[in-house]
Structure formats: structure tokens, C-alpha cells
Amino acid sequence: MLTRRAPHPLVLLLGGVGAAAVLTWLLPAGAYERTVDAATGAARVMPGTFAPVEPAPVGLMDALLAVPRGFVSGADVIMTILVTGGAFGLLDASGALSRLLGALVGRTRRPALVVIGLSIVFAGFGAAEQMHEEFVALIPVLVILARNLGYGSVTALAMSMGAAMVGAAFGPTNPFGTGAALKAAELAPMSAAGTRVAVLLAALAAWIAYTLWRAPADDVRPEVTAPSTEPPTWRDACSLLALVLPILLYVVGILRWGWGINELSALVLVGGFVVGALQRYALRETAARFLVAMEGMVAAGVLVGVARGIGLVLTDGRIIDTIIAGIVAPLQLVPAEVAAVAMIPAHAIIHIGVSSTSGQAMLTMPILAPLGDLLGISRDAVVLAFSAGGVFTDAVNPTNGALFAMLLNAKLTYGRWLKFAIPGMLLVWTAAAVGIVLLG
């Protein structure tokens, strides 16, 4: 009997590039006028200036070229995935990771507490600076942990990437999410912070409760090697610390010194060689093992590059602004309360074509914030709608290459993940909708 297998993630993303190219032939080209912010150099959209422009449909060759261009566009993220994967792979190959996991699992009497604790930790990283791409290399480790706690791959992804995206969506200081949207909407950096924190706590509690409720039915349980029963050594603990400290320092660097993801790659690269030294490898052996461990992340990096190509095709075809204008227009025809909540799915749709959340904030806030003024919707409510629809949606976004890289590492299909994640997303959106109503 033939069984229907889900398409490979690479096939899905390449199909997305093709679909984007087809849309450039079907939708009329259009653009908003833009001004450049003298302080930041960022382009700001001028509301009410949308007009047709010369069509620029993307042909077959240009669509194909968008794929390697996507690799160039996503080079920093791809490099981070390779280096982080190599470092943690080195730690795993040494046996240290297995011994550390064995100690954690052996001492755990209540697996649910581990899920809750890790969800809170990952949500904290997300709230600090929207981390989720950085966790691609951790997914195989988390799958092993989840399996030995009696759960599966869906739970591993939910308590890491899913929780991180909840934190990223509503963290009031996230410079790439709420921070960028507040600035683009011309609001103070901590405007309505109390309401945002309340929504963050409610949404995270709902996500964790939903994860635990669904965890026993998590049927994606790949075979994994049982953690070692050998006790970990001080070298093992220090090796793990050598890879955790760069992540913590990176978060501080983001908030205080304006660091980017390249700084994380540099720090983790050093951490990887520290692991080699602690595990008593010669320098040459450390380098060789590092490169071998990186090989396991090549597929994940490829998916990120291809996904970037989708946005490039839509931009080249001059239909991004057309899509936004088409989505915004119906919001003016419904009552203010409905329009405010409807901005959540509107942002979700826009985010499929605009992969950068800070870029989406600069693109949409200058349009939607004044629209909110006209409809009697507070700008804080407009920003909260962006947070829920434009940031959290990365947890299911079909053009998010990092998501597909994680699914590949977790041996999880996109369809199976959506079956779990969409109801959870609706819970998160409900918490945001309540906050939007309260903000008026």
C-alpha cells in the first residue's frame, strides 16, 4: 500500500519561490512614497501615497537567481547556524552532553516542571532580543531530552522555539519587535509597558498550559540514543558553560552595545575551541571535529537561504506594497474594535512576504498608526496587534527558514507542526486581543 509522504522542506520553500514569482505576474505593481529617517537611515512609508508603478514581473531565471541571492542576504544567520551547530556538535561528540542530559533526566521526578522551566528560559531569551534562529542547533539535543522525559519532537519545539516566539512577541524591550514598532509608531520606548507585560505573562501561561496538555499525545517520537548513565565531570559542566556564556553575553551586547548576530557567531566560535581544550583535544583535532559537526547543520543553513529568496522575489516584483495596501483597505470599512483585532491576522499575512520584523514595523506602522488615529484606536493597541501578528507568527510562518531548519532537525513535518501550533497561536492571539481591547 502506498503512503503519502509530506514534501521535503526544501521542496516546499522552492515552491514558495515559484509561487511568489507567479504572483508578480498576477498582482499589479505598486509602491508607497518613502522618506528617510535622518537619525537611523531607515526608510519610512508615507501613508496615503500608494500608487501604481511600472510592472516588474519576475521571470524564471530571476526566480532561480533569487535562491543564491537569498544565501547572500541570510549569510549572517546561516553562519550562526553553522558555528553554533558545530560547537554543540563538538560538545555532543565528546560525550559531555550525553552525561549532562543523563544527570538531568535521572534527577527529574516531574517532567512537566522541566517543560515549564525551559519554556520560561526560552521565552526570556525571546523577550530580550527575539532569539529563535540561534536555537536551530539545540533542537536535536532538546528532542533527546523530550524523548527521555516521555514526550516527543512537538513538545521539544514548543518549549523552545514556540516559547521564545511568545517572549519575542510581547517582550516590551525587544528591539526588533515591540521596540521597533513603538519607534515607528512614534511612541515612547516603554509606552503601555504594564499592559504588554500582562499580555506576555497571560500568553506564556496559555502556551505552556497548552503544551503540557498536548504533550502526552505527542506522537512524533524519533528513536534517540539514551543519555549516558556515567556521571558528568567538572570539565563537562565547564564545557557547557563555555557555550552558554556567549549566548548570555550576546543578549547583553544587543541591549547595551547594539550587537548583531555576527557577534554571536564570533563568541560561539571561541567557545567551541574552549570546549575542545576542556575535553583535552589537540588544536588540530578540535578544528577537525568542529568542521565535521558543522556538516550536520548545512541542510538547516540551506533552508534559511532559500526562504530568504521568497521575500526577494516579492520585492523585485514590486508587489509587497500592493499586498499591504490590499490588506489595509478593508480595515477602514469595519468598526474600530473589529479593525483593531483584525490587524493581528493582517500582520500575519504581511509577514509571509516581509520576513524581517523590524522591517515590517518600519513598513506598516507609518500606515496603520495614523489609520488607528482616524478609527479611534490607540497607537499602543496598533503596536500590540503587530506584536501578535507580525512577530509571533514566525512560529508558523512558511517563509521562516529557521523554522524549517528546526523542523528538519526535529524530524517533524510542517503539517504536523501546524496541527499543534495553530490552536496554540489562536490562544496567544486571544490574549493579545484582550490587551488590544483594554488599550482601546
Q: What are phi and psi of 279, to 5 degrees?
A: -90, 10
Cell numbers that stand for 364 in this block: 506598516
Contact of 85 with 135, CB cutoff 8 Å: no
Provide the phi-psi class of 397: left if phi over 0, else alpha when psi is between -120 and 50, else beta: beta
Q: What is the pLDDT of residue 42?
A: 63
Q: What is the pLDDT of residue 2?
A: 40
Q: What is the pLDDT of residue 37?
A: 66
- Tens of pLDDT, residue by residue over 119-133, are 998 998 888 777 777
Residue among 415, 324, 316 nearest 70 (CA): 316
Rounded to whole angstroms, how far apart are CA atoms 316 and 408? 29
Q: What is the pLDDT of residue 41?
A: 61
Residue among 37, 76, 73, 131 nearest 362 (CA): 37
Rounded to whole angstroms, how far apart are CA atoms 25 and 17? 13
User: Which residues contact residue 36 at a Cβ distance below 8 angstroms, ignoring those fewer than 6 apart?
Assistant: 42, 43, 44
Cell numbers that stand for 277 in this block: 581544550
State which residues of the chain have pLDDT below 50: 1-3
Q: What is the pLDDT of residue 342?
A: 92
Q: What is the pLDDT of residue 39?
A: 61
Helices (H) and strands (E) in the chain, counts: 20, 4
Give me the amino acid identity at 184: A
User: Which residues contact residue 292 at a Cβ distance below 8 angstroms, ignoring those fewer than 6 apart?
Assistant: 89, 93
The terminus-to-terminus CA distance of the chain in angstroms comes to 57
Mean pLDDT of the chain: 87
Which residue, chain included where needed, has cell 578544528?
A: 287
pTM of the model: 0.83
Contact of 43 with 362, CB cutoff 8 Å: yes
Residue among 377, 386, 379, 39 nearest 178 (CA): 386
Q: What is the pLDDT of residue 93?
A: 85
Q: Burial-class residue 175 by CB neighbours within 10 Å (0-12, 13-18, 19+).
A: middle
Q: What is the pLDDT of residue 6?
A: 66
Residue among 344, 393, 395 nearest 368 (CA): 344
